[in-house]
Amino acid sequence: MKKEIGIGLAGFGTVGSGVYKNLVRNGALIEERAGVCFRVRRIAVKDLAEPRAVEAPEELFVTRPDELIEDPGIQIVIELMGGIDFPLAFIRRAIQAGKSVITANKALLAEHGREIFELAKEKKVAVFFEAAVAGGIPIIKAVRESFVGNHIECIHGIFNGTSNYILTRMTDAGLDFSPALEEAQKLGYAEADPALDVNGWDAAHKAIILASLAYGFWVDPAKVHVEGIENVTASDIRFADELGYRIKLIATIKADDEGKIEVRVAPTLIPKSHVLASVNGVFNAVAVRGDVVGETLFYGRGAGQDPTSSAVLCDLVEAGIALSSPKESHGFAAHDLYGDCKPVADSVSKFYLRLGVEDRPGVLAQIAGALGAADIGILSVIQPESHTGEFISLVLILHDAPYGKMLTATKTLAALPCVKSEPLLLHMETFL
């Protein structure tokens, strides 16, 4: 007889119901692999009357998540409710009660990971979070375990399925932003508050978790540079295309020679020839470069019911195995080799700058003069003939410069009388 492990599922929405469905579907396989038998004892939801696409026995449903913690037959609680304050308090209580915890809540871990893992260590309970970064891609396991013998040199990732879906639909189908977002919401990819998807913060939460794992200290969200895709237009996508680039919401995590860590999430121009440029739709990809392993690439669905529940099931098996043969591992290994983030202003890259300018002689010379005075070199210029209202777009590709310097120069340009619309400044990544 296999040992039975009781599960409390907090949340039965897109991911929670997927976990239940797939646990039923692949239960025999999972139990063979884990060597234990899993039984869902309670499911917490907000509203018992809510119609459910996935069926589960009615008697399992409760509306008070603490019933999961109070049930002595539950050893593992799976938090899939979303939000921050409520699940934080819930997870704290679960850890205090000695329950193993699984969560897919990247916002919570990015903001409160340090405190959760310190408490888990003190109470000697395990916390698992494979689904929190890049949905079905097993990147947490890879960075934490498979690359344990490496210094991580850099990680570049497409971490938000919703914004990648929107950019892909804008590129391939010429769709506007709003209908593309609506499609992503219908498909269950977007967060309850989709602002987090499009403003870059969902990807930033994932980048913070991964950077923290890769470099052994909890990265402070205040030190992360975050821009969303809201200001990227169909014209920017076309200009980038003409120049040989795609625009993607890229998370860049990099250690510099002094061990300072840069964490940045921004719509970024990447060469069409780079493999990340071909990652489309809801797919995520993560390129990790380690000093021993070299370049690696992970690709898969970054959101949605089944890919995300696949990652939760992986955590479940790990949690089950850990409960049947305990070891001193709590999911996060802090160390002192790194410990500081690079100031955003010092991050160096090439840049894409789109200006709306008056269509008259001398304007280009003024712009070039202002950039020259700021010691910023121009690599190339596109000035399409078509007008946008009263002005014309001017697109410049600029040589490597620190972001702080570029921002100051952009503000100087924005103040010129010949510049008629808010400039758009985008990072470019050459992956060197």
Give dist(CA 50, CA 46) in Å, integer.
9
Q: What angle do CA 331, 125, 145 make, to 5 degrees?
A: 20
Q: Which of 420, 280, 408 is nearest to 363 (CA)?
A: 420
By CB under 6 A, tell whether 343 contacts ligand NDP: no
Catalytic-role residue among 206, 248, 254, 342:
206
Give residues with Cβ within 8 angstroms of 45, minimum separation 6.
Answer: 11, 12, 61, 62, 63
CA dihedral 133→134→140→141, nearest 10 degrees, is 150
Give dist(CA 205, CA 210) in Å, integer.
9
Q: What string marks each residue from 182 to 221 as x (binds ligand NDP by CB under 6 A) or -?
A: ------xx-xx-----------------------------
By CB under 6 A, tell whether 161 contacts ligand HSE: yes
CB of 157 to ligand NDP, least distance (A): 14
Show contacts with ligand NDP in window 290-319 (CB under 6 A). Answer: 303-304, 308
Give dist(CA 23, CA 59) in Å, integer.
18
160 binds, among ligand HSE, ligand NDP, none (CB under 5 to 8 A by kind): ligand HSE
Give dist(CA 194, CA 83) in Å, integer.
13
Show contacts with ligand HSE in window 188-217 (CB under 6 A). Answer: 189-191, 197, 202
Residues facing 38 on adjacent strands: 5
Q: 3-state class of 358 per DSSP? A: coil
Strands 3-10 and 76-79: parallel
298 binds, among ligand HSE, ligand NDP, none (CB under 5 to 8 A by kind): none
CB of 215 to ligand NDP, least distance (A): 23
| Sole window of 73-81, 184-192, 240-248, 324-332 interacting with ligand HSE (rule: CB under 6 A) | 184-192
Instruction: Using CB under 6 A, pick the residue from 17, 75, 100, 160 that binds ligand HSE.
Output: 160
Q: Is 124 a catalytic residue?
A: no
By CB under 6 A, tell whether 267 contacts ligand NDP: no
Nearer to ligand NDP, 154 or 251 (CB): 251
Show contacts with ligand NDP in window 53-72 (CB under 6 A). Answer: 65
Instruction: Using CB under 6 A, pick the residue from 5, 45, 127, 367 that binds ligand NDP.
Output: 45
CB of 197 to ligand HSE, least distance (A): 5
Show contacts with ligand NDP in window 7-26 (CB under 6 A). Answer: 11-16
| Sole window of 76-84, 154-162, 267-275, 400-408 interacting with ligand HSE (rule: CB under 6 A) | 154-162
46 C-beta neighbours (distance < 10 Å), count: 11
91 C-beta neighbours (distance < 10 Å), count: 27
Give dist(CA 391, CA 371) in Å, integer.
20
Q: Which of 14, 383, 360 is nearest to 192 (CA)?
A: 14
188 binds, among ligand HSE, ligand NDP, none (CB under 5 to 8 A by kind): ligand NDP
Strand ranges across the sheet with 127-128: 61-62, 36-44, 3-10, 76-79, 100-103, 127-128
Nearer to ligand HSE, 82 or 356 (CB): 82
Q: What are the contacts of 358-367 at 24+ separation with CB within 8 A?
A: 358/390, 358/391, 358/392, 358/418, 358/420, 359/387, 359/391, 359/392, 360/418, 363/394, 363/418, 364/394, 366/416, 366/418, 367/394, 367/396, 367/413, 367/416, 367/418, 367/419
Query: 151: burial class by Cβ within 10 Å (0-12, 13-18, 19+)?
Result: middle
12 binds, among ligand HSE, ligand NDP, none (CB under 5 to 8 A by kind): ligand NDP
Q: Residue 20: phi, psi to the nearest 5?
A: -60, -50
CB of 112 to ligand NDP, least distance (A): 13
Show contacts with ligand HSE in window 284-303 (CB under 6 A). Answer: 302-303
| Sole window of 79-87, 147-155, 168-176, 356-364 interacting with ligand NDP (rule: CB under 6 A) | 79-87
Q: Residue 70: phi, psi to the nearest 5?
A: -75, -20
* Binding footprint of ligand HSE, residue count (CB under 6 A): 11
Q: What string marks each residue from 111 to 150 as x (binds ligand HSE by CB under 6 A) or -?
A: ------------------------x---------------
- Interacting residues with ligand HSE (CB under 6 A): 135, 160-162, 189-191, 197, 202, 302-303
- Interacting residues with ligand NDP (CB under 6 A): 11-16, 44-47, 50, 65, 80-82, 86, 104-105, 131, 135, 188-189, 191-192, 303-304, 308
Catalytically active residues are 206
